[in-house]
Structure 1
Amino acid sequence: MPDMTDLATLAAKHDTTFILALFVDLIGKPCAKLVPIEAIEELQNDGVGFAGYAAGALGQEPKDPDIMALPDASSFTPVPFIKEGLAIVHCDPYVEGKPWPYAPRNILRSILDKAAECDLSVHVGAEVEYFLVHQDEHGGLITADPGDNAARPCYDARGVTRMYEHLAAVSRGMNELGWGNYANDHEDANGQFEQNFAYADAMTTADRVITLRYLISMIAEQRGMTATFMPRPFADRTGSGLHLHLSLWKGSSPLFPAHDAADLRGLGLSSLAYDFIGGVLDHAGALQAVLAPSVNSYKRTGAVSMSSGASWAPRVPTYGGNDRTHYVRVPDAHRIELRGGDGSANPYLAIAAAVGAGLDGIARHTDPGTPGGDNGVDRAALPLTLLHAVDALEADPTISGALDCAGAGVARYFGELKREEFFRWHSQVTSWEIDHYLTAF
């Protein structure tokens, strides 16, 4: 059961008057009910009910019993800078007294329990990238800052300064919450930004990614802008990633650094870390169905021409040192950076799948090969489309097993959702087709 620390005490401490009892569906949609402080005992003791089919992709039909969202008080997050007296608490969905296996938070908890059986804990950092945009009278996207039009806008001090109020509001919010915001920057594309916070245990980081997306979206709306985490909203610009920094620990000891001179690959990593990397690379094709789970994702990873000169998105499952062209980057000996994810990824599922792949690599002592693009290990290129990624997921028992960790059937359900999404997109007639085919025959 979730941690039942006294919510009333936490709410009183922070002058909370309303709580957003929040969870996400498999797609990552944040679902919540606004609970007044007067009903906090009912929330803590009984949870709050949702019609699961109405809420979203949660593996339910209209006839199914309610989902009861039970609060995890350890995730209590006061956000008075959004609305006075407001707080968020992340919830674990239950049905008829049992954890619901289609709930992303329950899936991640199950895979972390599997790691704990091996006496391992998982720490994760996340890089959240996004665009600030407006829509014109025709529904097209334009950069919210009209002055943000440089050919190479990355790290531009003027672009950051023009968006100072927005970036500073988000930064102050993170630091008031104790997240340790340490940088806020203009990313590679016009209108694109990234705001970083310190790493934490895997569940805390996943909760914070969801909370941060909410905070960024609400703060942008307050200033008349739209924040989008869409992987590639502009055809000529770099897309938005969700890069995950992963490390394994035993108690207070990090396990990725090599503690002797036996690392012949030269990255300072332990054999366990290389096993973990090997598992991630072996399962990269199936992982992409979870790390890059939208049609639009593959317009990011398949990009070949960017106005800035680089897409920064991996196209093949390789690894190397401090080199951002790889699927797995090793910036130092304490962590690895998984660069295949994008802004459409559900952080709970993404972390669960990545950890599942790494644990499989450890169990099999998987050899990742030598660092660099040509390492002599035969691994297929990353999927070209969402449909290819779903095919890889369905053929991979390890990544399917990670999604099914809290209960069978989730991977198949997720794959069916994504296959249907692909064909809904594929059935549309686009302006590209009109331009190329209208008078071609």
Structure 2
Amino acid sequence: MTDLATLAEKAGTTFILALFVDLNGKPCAKLVPVEAVQQLQTEGVGFAGYAVGSMGQEPKDPDLMVLPDPASFTPVPFIKEGLAIVHCDPHVGGKPWPFAPRVILKSMLARLQETQGLEAYVGAEVEYFLLRREADGTLVTADPGDNAARPCYDARGVTRMYEHLAAVSRAMNELGWGNYANDHEDGNGQFEQNFEYADALTTADRVVTLRYLISMLAEERGMVATFMPKPFSDRTGSGLHLHLSLWKDGESAFPDGDDTRGLGLSGTAYSFTAGILEHASALQAVLGPSVNSYKRTGAVATTSGASWAPSFPTYGGNDRTHFIRIPDHHRVELRGGDGSANPYLAIAATIGAGLDGIERDLDPGTVGGDNGTVRPPLPRTLIHAVEALEADPVVGAALDAASDGEHRVAAYFAEAKRAEFFAYHSRVTSWEIDHYLTAY
């Protein structure tokens, strides 16, 4: 593998963002001059872990030393001339830090390879809104002409946002990601920009990078890009749909031309799907890890007529009403994730659930239905999802994939999300004032 210094020299890089994310998906970085690239590669760069956010540290703990993965080196001169990003793995005491999302995913992928000889490939659909902030702080649709009742795929809406969408598309293609479509989504001001699938770690890195690119390019044009799951109560929410497949010895393990259920999938694919369905409630704590997430999955309808978010853990063919859609025999699409999901954790937890299905040879049941038992609906709130996570040892083990037994990432994550829910719950809202102020 080419070292970081050589990559930086070839790209004309002058500064590198040594980047990683916390458990919430917050991108954290230090700006490293290329003159210090050798030090970055051999020693890493230090962070006060408690100051970062949700990283399993307290103020008294030693520094997180983040070490770059040269394979993730990404020049981004379209943001700033000479700038590049490299994704890093946090270490403490010379060992990978078990609370680091990228470390967790790498550990889960290693487990999949070691136990089943399988590799995971993932594609991701990144949805977001483009907004502007008014003088009084109000957020409005960035494009004032984007006010149709059903704006999805509107050619005029895409054209009015051409400069932004084209800039993001060119960036992805310059990086070799293979951007193949850019569209107006179902909500006013909502867009999606797609890139080709890749191995699971690469795709997770690219989701983090893409969110950064979209945010910075939108800011240059005076806009706010938000991946918040449900910024408007009457509009469709933003998902992070994951397209997953498993491969062995360079060939997909999913297709089977003799499949009697009619979807063209192998027994491995069905068992993988069954595992995800079996653990769907616990998975939602990771796929929809914010209070706002459950305004998306709980939505009955929107101004466009549909919410496009699953409420029940079902699976089916090319049908977007299911938790798992199977558009063809090469992949399954998990539709439970939203824009607040940390891609590393979302993929790691999903693989953990699917792997359990393979190991136990689970059956997903009839297409469009369940497995003969009544699967509960997806959690209605974040606190319900947290309780499901705490009761599910399989999803918990996936979050603890890099743990040495001393550090309990799943418990830490659950407690952090419980605190987040109750911080929200303790706030008096305008809804309460409207309903209760003079009601008694």
Residue in structure 2 matched with residue 67 of structure 1 by the alignment: 64
> Under a length normalisation based on structure 1, what TM-score does the superposition of the two structures give?
0.98
Look up the match of 1:306.
302
2:124 counterpart (123, 126, 134) = 126
2:360 & 2:308 partners in 1: Cα distance? 31
Length, aligned pairs only: 436
Per-residue deviation, 1:42: 0.4
Instruction: Indicate the residue corresponding to 2:98 in structure 1.
Output: 101
SS of 1:125's equivalent in the other structure is strand
The answer as to whether partners of 1:126 and 1:209 remain within 8 angstroms in 2 is yes
Say whether 1:269 aligns with 2:265. yes
Q: 1:320/1:212 Cα in 2 relative to 1: closer, same or farther (>3 Å)?
A: same
The answer (yes or no) to whether the contact 2:363–2:371 under 8 Å persists in 1 is no
- In structure 2, the residue matched to 1:82 is 79
Q: What secondary structure does 2:87 align onto?
A: strand
2:381 partner letter: T
Shift of 1:375: 5.5
Aligned partner of 2:198 in structure 1 is 200
1:378 matched to 2:374? The reply is: yes
Does the Cα contact within 8 Å between 1:368 and 1:377 map onto a contact in 2? no
Mapping of residues 11-410 of structure 1, within 5 Å: 11-117=8-114, 118-258=116-256, 260-261=257-258, 263-373=259-369, 376-407=372-403, 408-410=407-409
CA distance in 2, matches of 1:395, 1:374: 21
SS in 1 for 2:282: helix
Structure 1 residue identity aligned to 2:263: L
Distance 2:396 2:434 in 1: 40
CA contact (8 A) 2:128 2:191 kept: yes
- The answer (yes or no) to whether the contact 2:279–2:395 under 8 Å persists in 1 is yes
In 1, Cα distance between the equivalents of 2:135 and 2:232? 17
Alignment gaps of 5+ in structure 2: none
Deviations 1:276-322 (A, max 9, x none): 00000000000000000000000000001200000000000000000
Counterpart Cα distance in 2 of 1:341 and 1:141: 24
SS in 1 for 2:179: coil
Q: Please give the per-residue CA displacement for 1:391-418, whole angstroms capped at 9, x wherever unaligned.
A: 0000000000000010040000000100
Q: In terms of mean alpha carbon deviation, does 286-295 or 130-139 score higher? A: 130-139
AA partner of residue 180 (structure 2): Y
Describe the superposition over 1:23-62 as per-residue Cα deviations: whole angstroms up to 9, x where unpaired. Answer: 0000000000000011111001100000000011100000
- Partner Cα separation in structure 2 for residue 238 and residue 119 of structure 1: 39
TM-score, normalization: structure 2?
0.98
Give % identity.
75
Superposition pairs of residues 404-419 of structure 1, within 5 angstroms: 404-407=400-403, 408-419=407-418
Check whether the contact 2:15–2:82 (CA below 8 A) recurs between aligned residues: yes
SS in 1 for 2:229: coil
Q: Which amino acid aligns with 2:379?
A: P
Cα pair distance change 1:306/1:181, threshold 3 Å: same
